[in-house]
Amino acid sequence: MKNLVVGAGLTGAVIAERIASKLDEEVVVIDKASHIGGMHYDYIDKESGILVQPRHANFLHTNNKFIWDYLSKFTKLQPLTFRPLVQIQGINATLPLCLLTLHEVFPEDFAKMLENKLIAKFGYNKKITLAEMNRNFDEDLKFLSEYFYENVFKPYTVKQWGIDENSIPPCADTYYPFDISLDDRYFKEKYQAVPACGWTNMIENILRHKNIKLKLNTDFSEINPRKYDRIFFTGSIDEYFDYKHGELPYRSVRVEIDEKLTDLNGQTFNYPYNYDFIRANVFKNILPNAIYSTNKNIVGFEYIEQFELGKNERFYPINNSDSQEIYEKYVEESKVLHNIYFAGRLGEFKYYESDELVTRAFETVARLMIDNNEEFSKDEEEINQEVQTEVENSSNE
């Protein structure tokens, strides 16, 4: 069987590796970019040794040991804790919003009073939403929920999604979380890391297999698909169908790299308002214990904009009822095609975290192996069960 994988991002790389090693079949991987890695693309700055993530800062966070073990075969995973900050009224405060945030943004006595009320009402170590806080009869807690709604949730949502503030649900319906704890970790999963030599290096190692051939600077439109028995498409599904049912909407991000010395002392800063950029990633502070040879600082400022074909890149899928309707039409079209599989963030028009992508790539190849046995009499549930068993078996290898 001849396999073509379109896209050398994490999804494409894991699918290719699974086919190459589990099925022992040949795989050609193409990418229209001049480098591998897709959204995970990063590089090490030669002068300073700093790992720069020019698309976005990407952290592995998972409770799934199988993901950790699988990726560890291709890289040393550098454990870390992600502690971003959010600027509220000029103060860089802890994100996730938690008891620490209260003490950073309010005078001590007032913060203590709010903390006591939250613990008395909901209990320590509970995660609540701004809506739950707001629907309370207590005027102070109502004030607190409105404060975070007005200073964090509302302006951030407007900036991130480019929507009118009048279309944002009121505070009493807002599911934005607040942690009644002192836990300042943004991600709570057991395993958290960044590949020590970068995601691109890890993806390069995943693709290093005798059955895998990589072609960069190659767009799918330049390829004769008839030469392949199976195609795994990790580009945008609307593009594959030449946008016949309309374009799927995305938000895009423009990153401006600043190499001047700055005093930003943290990993990632979020700016709900006040600036045109929405986030700043301070790359030298991302990897813990990294010792760099110079004082150089490299900061990536993220500007959010609407995706426009030919102008910028697709980042966040905008999932709403209109876009879902368009997506479903493409899914229907894809059902009549044979041996074409749409996968990943763009192929499935869905925001996936990295660990979910790896699991889904495993599932795609497991399903293929089951289909290969041509037992079409099985129902969907039976097949899903077999896929899970196959993924579990693979993870124990």
Binding site for ligand FAD (CB under 6 A): 6-12, 30-33, 38-40, 56, 58-60, 219-220, 234-235, 239, 253, 315-316, 344-346, 352-354, 357
How far the first Cα of the chain sits from its last, in Å, is 24
The two most distant CA atoms of the chain are separated, in Å, by 71
Q: Closer to ligand FAD at the Cβ: 144 or 358?
A: 358
- State in angstroms the smallest separation of the CB of 232 from ligand FAD: 11
Query: Which residues make Cβ contacts (< 8 Å) with residue 169, sequence separation at least 6?
Result: none
Closest CB to ligand FAD among residues 68, 147: 68
**Smaller CB distance to ligand FAD: residue 59 or 228?**
59
Rounded-to-integer distance, Cα 388 and Cα 360, Å: 11
In the complex, the smallest distance separating the C-beta of residue 371 from ligand FAD, rounded to whole angstroms, is 22
Nearer to ligand FAD, 155 or 235 (CB): 235
Q: Which is nearer to ligand FAD, 133 or 206 (CB)?
A: 206
List beta partners, residue 340: 231
Shortest Å distance, C-beta 161 to ligand FAD:
13
- Residue 386 CB, shortest distance to ligand FAD, in Å, is 24
Closest CA to 195 of 36, 44, 13: 44
User: Closer to ligand FAD at the Cβ: 18 or 345?
Assistant: 345
Q: Which is nearer to ligand FAD, 136 or 267 (CB)?
A: 267
Question: Closest distance between ligand FAD and the C-beta of residue 198, in Å?
Answer: 13
Q: Please name the residues in contact with 366: beta carbons below 8 A apart, sequence gap of 6 or more.
A: 386, 387, 390, 391, 394
Alpha helices (H) in 162-211, listed in sequence order: 199-207
CB 21 within 8 A of CB 27: no
**CA–CA dist 4, 279 (Å, integer):** 36
Residue 16 CA to residue 208 CA, distance in Å, equals 10
CB of 74 to ligand FAD, least distance (A): 15
Distance CA(20)–CA(209), nearest Å, equals 7
Identify the bridge partners of residue 151 per DSSP, sorted by sequence position: none
Residue 127: how many CB atoms within 10 A of its CB? Answer: 15
Q: In whole angstroms, how close is the CB of 355 to ligand FAD at the nearest point?
A: 6
